[in-house]
Amino acid sequence: MPDQFDLDKYLARIGYRGPLTPSFDTLAGLQAAHVDAIAFEGIDPLLGRPVNIDLTSVQAKIVDGRRGGYCFEQNTLLKAALEAIGFAVTPLSARVRWRLDADAPLTPRTHMMLKVDLPDGPYLADVGFGSCLLDTPLRMVPDVEQATAMGTFRLTISDGLHWLAAKQPAGWRMMYVFDLIPQIHADYVLGNWFTSTSPLTPFTSMLILERLTRDVRYKLVNRRLVTEARDGEIVSERIIETPDALGSVVEDLFGVSLPVPVNEVWARIES
């Protein structure tokens, strides 16, 4: 029995009440509502819990369970919604560059995102890049600065690869690199297993959450909470001092219901 997707429950979860035609306005509205309502988070890998990315599990966790997730979960959910509405969607994968030097070798394919074809051309839709969430789809046109409400982005093409960068206070910072080869679910299963279990990935040793509203970006890395304005400008930051304070931030600011008592999460980031 194939996975069943409940579009109405997803729309209620993200609070979207706009048009449901396969247009740019719909795509942009869904992406903005999604990253505001559903936080990026990697709590399960930190706790050593499995991350299941079949659509049934993703819906149960994120839509029904008031949780967030990372790219394989988030973009699986968005893909299902877009296809239910009638968009032409191609799933893609990328190699993350955010934490790497410019001359570092390419890494494995550990990021999922989507190409959405519209009458005026293809767009990159991505609700799951937790280092720098995108608030709107990007035109897949090279060498053009694309300004959004919460950032400035640029795609370049080199050696047949697409490189996506974000403008930051210190200059342009590479997000990820990708090609246009369509991916199947099995490709993501392999990348998800590595991302959720390997000590080489940040999710198995760090608490990472991000939420992007219409005018601010919230980031939590272990106990450091940062609020950013456009293009990564820091508005405020503080260190969370107690487990109770951590629980309140995760629940109230990021809208995530912890799957375990907060002390268990605190112990993982204090060790």
Which positions are annotated as active-site residues? 71, 111, 126
For residue 90, count other CB atoms closer than 10 A to its CB. Answer: 14
* Whole-Å CA distances, 157 to 19, 104, 154: 33, 18, 10
What does the radius of gyration of the chain's CA atoms come to, in whole angstroms? 18
Residue whose tokens read 């994120």: 62
Buried b / exposed e over 190-217, threshold 16 CB at 10 Å, is ebbeebbeeeebbbbeebbbbbbeeeeb
Helix (H) or strand (E) run with residue 9 in it: helix 7-14
Cβ pair 58, 152 in contact under 8 A: no
Q: How far apart are CA 176 and CA 27, in angstroms?
A: 22
Cβ pair 142, 156 in contact under 8 A: yes
User: Backbone phi, then psi, for 167, in 5-degree steps?
Assistant: -80, 130
CA-nearest of 81, 73, 97 to 31 is: 81
